[in-house]
Amino acid sequence: MMRLAREITPLYPQLNLDLLLAGILFHDSGKLWENQLPESGFTMGYDERGELMGHISIGLELVNSLWRRLSAENAEAWKDLAPPSEDVRLHLLHLIGAHHGEPEFGSPVSPKTPEAMALHYIDNLDARLEMFATGYTTAKPLAARIFDRVRPLPGNLVKSLDKFQQPSSATKKDGQLL
């Protein structure tokens, strides 16, 4: 996700790369408490805090608490930062709160800044492409290059074409294929 953010920020100069990277780092931090991973295996148990609060709320609480503590400890050093520390905190919290995109997908607020919108789409793209990659190895094959649906993707999976390869007989002129 960070590599994608680094690649798109030159294309969209209104994006604050540092803020976007911080959002990528912290947007799912609440999952550390929401998801109770066992010491062995991959079946997650249930946790009351995770069920009641969800990872977005837990992440907002975590980052807000850490920021307040660090701000108090570094008040003198942070007083002349630009943009002001409080503005950065507010925007980072917005990135965390808006990363699912819409309330029906669990976000308490919709993205209202370019960085929040970028984080939402980067996170969504990353998750969906991982679903495809996993689906190709775990879903039931239905036909050549076609696999059973992996939810929440919208239908059966179709394997991508192999990457294009330059034929050995092709010649180049000024770096272009003829």
Calpha distance 7→73 (Å, rounded): 35
More confident residue, 157 or 43: 157
Residue 83: cis peptide before it, omega within 30 degrees of 0: yes
pLDDT confidence of 42, banded at 50, 70, 90? low
112-167 pLDDT tens trace: 999 999 999 999 999 999 999 999 999 999 999 999 999 999 999 999 999 998 88
Give just the sign of the alpha carbon dihedral 14, 111, 91, 28: negative
Q: Is 59 in contact with 33 (CB distance < 8 Å)?
A: no
Higher local confidence (pLDDT), 100 or 48 = 100
pTM for this predicted structure:
0.86
pLDDT at 44: 72
The residue count of the chain comes to 178
